[in-house]
Amino acid sequence: MSDGFHVYDTTLRDGSQQEGLNLSVQDKLVIARHLDSLGVGFIEGGWPGANPKDTEFFRLARTELDLKHAQLAAFGATRRAGLKAADDPQVAALRDSRAPVVTLVAKSHDRHVELALRTTLEENLAMIRDTVSHLRAEGQRVFVDAEHFFDGFKANRAYALEVVRTAAEAGADVVALCDTNGGMLPDELADVVHEVVGAGARVGIHCHDDSGCAVANSLAAVRAGATHVQGCANGYGERSGNANLFTVIGNLQLKRGMNIVGDAQLAEMTRIAHAVSEATNVTLSSQAPYVGHSAFAHKAGLHASAVKVDPNLYQHIDPLVVGNDMRMLVSSMSGRASVELKGKELGYDVSGQKAAEVVSRVKDLESKGYTFEAADASFELLLREELAGARTSYFTVESWRVIAEQRPDGVQISEATVKVHAKGERIIATGEGNGPVNALDTALRFALERLYPELANLELVDFKVRILEGSHGTDAITRVLIDSSDGKAEWGTVGVGENVIAASWQALEEAVTYSLLRAGYDPS
């Protein structure tokens, strides 16, 4: 990416301030590599000197990060009041980080200067001027984040502009205007950015999402003349988060026609978003624009009918451009077109009367509590049964039971026994677990692994229970959704029963059946 427009990621610093997000040094190195592969121009690694973890990150980055596209930026503050920049330990930590770029946070709201920094407006300008010029003289490139700029502009326009002017004259390459409280709306923000750009400085934008406008505000700022945009992967950040950098990149490249990253890099964006999610251990919203699992999912029968004719009728882009894919959801809202398209997606030819029969059965099952939106494996097994006239089966269940015990030492344990028939054998197996479902899963695996060794790779990765209201007053039914994986793919199964254990057994049985289908075994 050329220096004509900057994409600046602050996931490792501002994004890590999200509640519940805690990154190790190794996590940060992994995420930095992913962001570099996307083609961002700058990766803010943290605040060296503020905490040992960030200091260690910059030390390791010198030898362990081989960045192909991005430059590493160190974040820090202007010197403290009354000190020279050359004598301030915090500024020294920025020098010692050896980062090619330093981003300095500077106060641009007069009340923050007087109440938070407890210094004068004149001294704050001197702090900015001295720190920028010192770091420039030491050979580092300097960006300045004008904190609380828009609120400061409203309160004291002349002083906020003077902060920008001072930073630029001291040698800052970019002054990023920060909507720190996240309360701006796009039209008013664009007016302010346009005025600052007119004053002659190179302007960047840094938006928070407290009003739900971080991405819109970032786009408005770019249209008003900003040539540097900051954000976080997957919208991470304190409170409501920062501008989602993936959404910003997608919109600038695909809607505004800007050359932000290469086409091949853009096609990796969905994978990268999910890889970062794995590294942070923060689940990516399924409805995230461009990269979410549901971003191109179609449920309504009317939509499916149109998509069958032309996918672009209900999609704003081709999902493959960002590495995502179109998905058809099967539910009680589905029509024949939904079932036909979902069948095609799964590799089955479902049409005509057979499609109508599948729709009828899906609607009947959903009226009883089943759902297939998040249970593709259960739907595929249902589809195979309708097409073949027989249930896919690798084993039959004679019986199962489970007991839960609390021992004198306070330890709780569950024990399950299953009796199954498979490949002409009657097998009885028991298993223990930390709960009834875990015990049943263990016992079923013990029973079948000798005949089907691939089951050793099967893992239950998620388990969801929902109690559904019934039609008979206080009666209720339970729905269980299980996500499973064989290390290569994940799939969902659903079970419904009068209690959580019965519903769980249904979902477990289908998870194991689908695993064997994936492994290539011929069903009986």
Span 255-309, pLDDT tens digits: 999 999 999 999 999 999 988 988 898 888 888 999 987 787 766 555 555 555 5
The confidence score (pLDDT) of residue 335 equals 54
The confidence score (pLDDT) of residue 452 equals 94
The confidence score (pLDDT) of residue 332 equals 47
Architecture of domain 6-280: Alpha-Beta Barrel (3.20)
E-strand stretches of 378-424: 396-406, 412-422
Q: Which amino acid is at 288?
A: A
The confidence score (pLDDT) of residue 468 equals 76
The CATH number fitting domain 368-391+457-524, selected from 3.30.70.3270, 3.40.50.300, 3.30.160.20, 3.30.70.260: 3.30.160.20
In degrees and rounded to multiples of 5, residue 243 shows phi and psi of: -55, 130
C-alpha to C-alpha distance for 269 and 357, rounded to whole angstroms = 39
The confidence score (pLDDT) of residue 344 equals 76
Residue segments in the chain with a per-residue pLDDT below the cut of 70: 1-3, 298-314, 327-341, 373, 469-476, 524
C-alpha to C-alpha distance for 181 and 189, rounded to whole angstroms = 13
Model confidence pLDDT, tens digit, residues 434-491: 889 999 999 999 999 999 999 999 988 888 888 876 545 445 688 899 999 988 888 8
Give CA angle at 55 (51, 61), nearest 5°.
Answer: 145
383, two tokens: 């589809």
pTM (two decimals): 0.71
The confidence score (pLDDT) of residue 474 equals 45
Residues of the chain with CATH 3.30.160.20: 368-391+457-524
C-alpha to C-alpha distance for 16 and 37, rounded to whole angstroms = 20
The confidence score (pLDDT) of residue 473 equals 42
Spacing of C-alpha 40 from chain mean position: 17
C-alpha to C-alpha distance for 40 and 33, rounded to whole angstroms = 11
Cα–Cα separations (whole angstroms), residue 55 to 79, 93, 142: 18, 8, 19
The confidence score (pLDDT) of residue 513 equals 94
Handedness of CA 260, 262, 263, 267 (dihedral sign): negative
Question: Would residue 326 be called left, alpha or beta, if left means φ above 0 and alpha means ψ between -120 and 50 degrees?
Answer: beta
Check if the beta carbon of residue 113 is closer than 8 Å to that of residue 119. Answer: yes
Residues of the chain with CATH 3.20.20.70: 6-280
The confidence score (pLDDT) of residue 524 equals 64
The confidence score (pLDDT) of residue 299 equals 63
Architecture of domain 395-451: 2-Layer Sandwich (3.30)
Q: Is 264 helix (H, G, I), strand (E, B) or coil?
A: helix
The confidence score (pLDDT) of residue 269 equals 93
The confidence score (pLDDT) of residue 312 equals 66
Residues of the chain with CATH 3.30.160.270: 395-451
Walk across the sheet containing 476-485 and list its strands. 459-469, 476-485, 490-497
